[in-house]
Amino acid sequence: MAKIYHHIVFLTGAGFSAESGLATFRGNGGLWNGCKIEDIASHAALDDNRDNLLDFYNRLRREMAGANPNTAHIALTELQKSYPGEVSIITQNLDTLHERAQSGDIFHIHGQINQVRCQDCDTVWETWEDIAADTPCPACGRTGVVRPNIVLFNEPVFCERQIKQLLRNADLFIAAGTSGEIPPASVFVQEAKLNGAETVALNLTPPQNYRYFDTVILGKISQTLPAFTAKLRTLASEKR
């Protein structure tokens, strides 16, 4: 490892929030009301089964509203505050635990659970309340057009331009609590590596695309991440 990095990029995933008590819900044949998650949380469901889609995200919003950041979220915030280089966070998580831990420079590529959007006028606003088909848009007043501001299956991710820039500049890329199964996050490590970054995975199990990682550290993220950020800080302080 280098003594100091100028642009550190973390990619965080479900494993980060799992230790705050939030169950993972994407993929792996997850079910809701007997339907596959891929069918409920799809773009087509906005037309075909909006009530079920809204119910699903209402439940998720309630669950996430009650969750608290864990030691891994807090360790990232401390790193951002004390590290001499830039530290950015790309997250696949819909919860706002990085924000609650007072982290900054966060990019939610799949959106965030407390934001909703009007499909008609594109206004985005924040709420922790349930939304229903007859919830009106506060800007244009229309009903039947309000949806979670979340990337549904078959929709492009958010912040693509900023992510490309981050991966171009990164000299250290860390995938933390993510198995690397879901594109495009699964290819972020390849991009970072091609651009010359050192790559590290912190995960409970070996990531699927482990061959792209220079270092793989297995274990609970609440333990491996604080240890890793402490090491980064120690190396940086030796440099000065």
Radius of gyration of the chain (CA): 19
Helix (H) or strand (E) holding 38: helix 37-40
Nearer to Zn ion, 1 or 124 (CB): 124
Which of 2, 31, 124, 140 is in the footprint of Zn ion by CB under 5 A? 140
- Residues 95/70, Cβ–Cβ less than 8 Å: no
User: Binders of Zn ion: how many residues, by CB under 5 A?
Assistant: 7
Among 60, 79, 87, 118, binds Zn ion (CB under 5 A): 118
Task: Report the residue number, 133 or 230, with the smaller CB distance to Zn ion.
Answer: 133
Q: How big is the CA angle at 206 (ends 205 and 212), to the nearest 5 degrees? A: 150
How many Cα atoms sit within 13 Å of 180 on the Cβ side?
A: 25
Using CB under 5 A as the binding rule, whether residue 146 contacts Zn ion is answered as: no
Nearest to 36 by CA among 53, 23, 14, 60: 53
- Catalytic residue ranges: 110
Which part of the chain contacts Zn ion (CB under 5 A), choosing from 30-38, 75-83, 112-120, 200-208?
112-120
Minimal distance in Å, beta carbon 54 to Zn ion? 16
Instruction: Indicate the residue among 137 and 166 with the shorter CB distance to Zn ion.
Output: 137
Q: Which of 149, 110, 96 is nearest to 26 (CA)?
A: 110
Over the window 120 to 139, marking each residue x when it contacts Zn ion by CB under 5 A and - when it does not, the resulting string is xx-x-------------x-x
Which one, 23 or 121, has the nearer CB to Zn ion? Answer: 121
